[in-house]
């Protein structure tokens, strides 16, 4: 360990000193005057974000799923047609040309 690491550890606050539970709002509003000021400057806490999320909120946009599905279907159709053309020309190519 270097001397710089020791100085950094000595100057940084102990994170273990914060003892909050999920969903508990401290009475001092994390050092802000009131809850509105805390939300304005700090934003929502993790538990507040999770509680405000709607169950109906989509994870992926429906149009994005449609585009990805169409691309995958297009690739599969392309491969099947390419394989079919290759098979037909390999096995019946000379007969189709009239030889």
pLDDT, tens digit (0-9, with 9 covering 90-100), for 9-46: 555 455 455 555 666 666 776 677 787 888 788 777 77
pLDDT in the model for residue 70: 98
pLDDT band at 91 (very low <50, low <70, confident <90, very high): confident
The predicted structure's pLDDT at residue 84 = 93
pTM score? 0.40
Residues near 20 by beta carbon (within 8 Å), at least 6 away in sequence: 26
Cα–Cα dist 58/73, whole Å: 23
Ramachandran quadrant class, 30 (left: phi over 0; alpha: psi -120 to 50; beta: rest): left
Write out pLDDT tens, residues 37-88: 887 887 777 777 777 777 776 677 888 989 999 999 999 999 999 999 999 8
Residue keyed to tokens 């096995």: 91
Rounded Cα distance between 79 and 85, Å, is 10
In this predicted structure, the answer to whether residue 8 has a pLDDT above a threshold of 60 is no
**Among 40, 42, 41, 45, which Cα is nearest to 23's?**
45
The answer to whether 47 and 22 have CB atoms below 8 angstroms apart is yes
């Amino acid at each position: 360990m270097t001397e710089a690491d020791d100085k950094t550890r000595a100057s940084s606050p102990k994170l273990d000193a914060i003892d909050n539970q999920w969903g508990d709002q401290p009475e001092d509003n994390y050092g802000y005057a009131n809850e509105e000021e805390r939300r304005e400057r700090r934003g929502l806490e993790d538990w507040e974000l999770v509680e405000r999320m709607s169950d109906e909120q989509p994870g992926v946009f429906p149009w994005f799923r449609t585009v990805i599905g169409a691309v995958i279907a297009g690739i599969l159709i392309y491969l099947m047609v390419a394989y079919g053309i290759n098979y037909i020309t390999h096995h019946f190519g000379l007969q189709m040309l009239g030889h």
